[in-house]
Amino acid sequence: GIICIGDVDNVQLNGECFLDWCKKKADEGKLPRMLAAVRLHPSVRPGCRQVNTTQVNRVDITSVSSIFAADLELRQQIRLLTQFLKENLPGYENCRVIGSGTTTGVRESRRVMGDYVIDADEMAEGCRFADVVVHKALFIVDIHNPDGAGQAEPTIQYCKPYDLPYRCFLPLGLEGLLVAGRCISGTHRAHASYRVMSICMAMGEAVGIAAAMSASQHCTPRALDVGELQKRLESLGVELFD
């Protein structure tokens, strides 16, 4: 039987690690190697699982034809994965797809060079900044292999909660613009942590308020008083300082 103890890495299938079982099935040719890590996460819907498995590498997100080809490949992977689960995983004999992403999710593309470039090493140590606008951000440094399945390098699992400074959202040498989300000023390795939705949501709140304040004060975002921005964020319940 299947025993789940916490996250997917601890799931046991008849006494065997589930992810090891998936890799074995890939070795047997029953599962494409790109899909060898089948992650079945709990869902708010009874009897349903969220599947985080499909992957396509080396897609040019500036090319419509490249994105279209990736869309087709990912839809094909969904079909193959569903059939694999039906034929190989106990309890999934009658599984079916009830929904999927409407578009291909791009993990990483272009990043802006800003007034400050944050890197993964300082994030892992829990960096703090005087111009903090996102506080206690936390996620592992998780870099997928761009040439196949698995990781590109050992994952940094134990990051400390870190700050993101306002300077990361200010494009270098360009006035009147703020950026938020995966495109902020950071290294490839740093992006592997701050790219996740919860952190990007915090960025969006900070940048949105900064943009509104800049407009109301008739100043550029770079000229905005960061201390006043921090006070405004705190008045809305955003924690910025320990």
Is the pLDDT assigned to residue 4 strictly greater than 50?
no
- Give Cα 106 distance to the centre of its chain: 9
Q: What is the average pLDDT score of the chain?
A: 90
Query: Which among 70, 18, 41, 55 has a CA at the least distance from the CA of 143?
Result: 55
- Other CB atoms within a 10 A radius of the CB of residue 219 amount to 12
5-15 average pLDDT score = 54
Instruction: Report whether 187 contacts 118 (CB < 8 A).
Output: yes
Is the pLDDT assigned to residue 11 strictly greater than 90?
no
Top mean pLDDT of 1-5, 98-102, 169-173 is at 169-173
**Phi and psi dihedrals of 231, rounded to 5?**
-60, -40
The pLDDT of residue 157 is: 65
What is 92-155 written as a DSSP string?
Answer: -TT-------SSPPPS------BSS-B-HHHHHTT---TTEEEEEE---B--B-TTSSSBSS--
Q: Report yes or no on whether pTM surpasses 0.75.
A: yes
The pLDDT of residue 1 is: 41
**Number of residues that this document lists for the chain:** 242
Is the pLDDT assigned to residue 129 strictly greater than 60?
yes
**Phi and psi dihedrals of 16, rounded to 5?**
-110, 140
Which secondary-structure segment (H or E) carries 191?
helix 188-194
The pLDDT of residue 37 is: 84
Among 60-74, 115-129, 134-148, whose mean pLDDT is lowest? 134-148
Cα–Cα distance measured from residue 109 to residue 123, given in angstroms and rounded to the nearest whole number: 20
Judging by beta carbons within 10 Å of its beta carbon (0-12, 13-18, 19+), is residue 77 exposed, middle or buried?
middle
